[in-house]
Structures are given as structure tokens and as C-alpha cells.
Amino acid sequence: MGLETLTDSSARIRANELITQKDSIENEIREQEQILKGQGVGMSEPLVDRSGFPRDDVDLVVVRTARARIIALHRAIAFALVNAVAPDSPASEAGLQRNDKIIRFGHLHADNHQALQAVNSLVSGSENESIDVTIERGDEGRLVLKLTPKRGWGGRGLLGCHIIPIKGAK
């Protein structure tokens, strides 16, 4: 029981670190959005006038820089944490490990994973097809793994791992 408590405590500490990192990223996103608001634009308004010339009522460099930073920050937010990986599973074969934080799962990211329902749908529709999974792993940093969902590996599900949403992720 002592080892389980230590592992649970370590997982909680790591989860809290990830939440703090996510909060920091979200704060920077809000700062960049304020920059855009100050210019009178958002993420989708055109930066050219009706004649196709650059707008003279906004600082184009400031707007494009803020937009690019917001996009990069959205892609950097982890939305799920790997809670368990079964031995000899597709997840294990791909190199997924407990406590990996998932930043992208195929085309899914922090803004469109729909409480992991979209991940489930993607996995169900991708049996025997490789999915790129971008993770953040401790000192190793960001890695892209190739995960192939499949049946008949000897355990439950198509992946053989359990992922949980990171609290506060959209």
C-alpha cells in the first residue's frame, strides 16, 4: 500500500504541475487576445480591405504575431493524461507511458477533443491505421508517437491504455 500511495501522490503532483502549466498558457492566450482586441480584430477578420490592400487601421505585424502565438499556444496545451498502459498493447508498442500528457491525438487538440469523446470516435474509426500522438514526457520533452488501434492484442479496447482528461481542459 505504501508504494501505491507514493505513486498516487506522484501522479497528483504531476497532474497539478500540468494544470499550472495549462493555466499559464491560457493566461498568455488571454493576453494575446487582448492585444487583438486593442487592434479591433479577432482571429478571423480579414487584414485586407475590399480592394485587397492591407488594412491601414491595424498594425499588421502586431496582429499577425498575436494570432500566430495564440495558434501555437493552443497546440501546446495538454488535454489528457495517460493514467495506465497495458503491457503488450498497441499503446505500449507505440511507446506511450503512464503520466505522458497528450497534446495532440491525430487532429484533436485542447480545443476540439470534446471531453475525450472525439478521441474515442477517432480511435474507433481508425482501427489498423496509424495515428500520430504528440505527447509531453518529463525530461524528454515533446515526442510524436505512432499509435495503431487494433483488436486481438490480448486485452480490452483498441489501444490498451487509459487516458483521463486534464481538469480544466476544454
Return phi, psi of residue 77, to 5°: -85, 125
Are both 121 and 133 inside the same structural domain? yes
Are both 67 and 93 inside the same structural domain? no
Expressed as residue numbers, the domain containing 119 is: 80-165
Measured CA to CA, the distance from residue 110 to residue 77 in angstroms comes to 6
**pLDDT for the residue 69:** 87
Total domain count for the chain?
Answer: 2
CATH number at residue 155: 2.30.42.10
Which residue, 76, 93, 115, sits at the end of a domain? 76
CA 128 to chain CA mean position, Å: 23
Which residue, 41, 76, 111, sits at the end of a domain? 76
Are both 13 and 70 inside the same structural domain? yes
**pLDDT for the residue 3:** 47
Are both 72 and 91 inside the same structural domain? no
Residue 40 is assigned to a structural domain of this protein:
yes
CA distances from residue 38 to 32, 44, 59, 102 in whole angstroms, order as listed: 10, 15, 10, 33
Are both 71 and 90 inside the same structural domain? no
Residue 64 is assigned to a structural domain of this protein:
yes
Are both 7 and 63 inside the same structural domain? yes
Tell me which H or E stretch contains 144.
strand 141-147
What radius of gyration, in Å, describes the C-alpha atoms of the chain? 20
**pLDDT for the residue 1:** 42
Are both 6 and 57 inside the same structural domain? yes
**pLDDT for the residue 111:** 78
Which residue, 76, 97, 123, sits at the end of a domain? 76
Considering the entire predicted model, what is its pTM?
0.62
**pLDDT for the residue 72:** 79
pLDDT tens digits, the chain, 170 residues: what are they?
Answer: 444 455 667 767 867 776 787 788 889 989 999 999 999 999 889 999 999 999 999 999 999 999 988 877 876 788 899 999 999 999 999 999 999 999 999 999 887 888 899 999 999 999 999 999 999 888 788 889 999 999 999 998 999 999 999 875 55
Are both 49 and 110 inside the same structural domain? no
Cell of 45: 477578420
**pLDDT for the residue 161:** 96
Are both 71 and 84 inside the same structural domain? no
Are both 152 and 91 inside the same structural domain? yes
What is the DSSP-derived secondary structure letter of residue 53? P
Residue 87 is assigned to a structural domain of this protein:
yes
**pLDDT for the residue 21:** 78
Residue 170 is assigned to a structural domain of this protein:
no
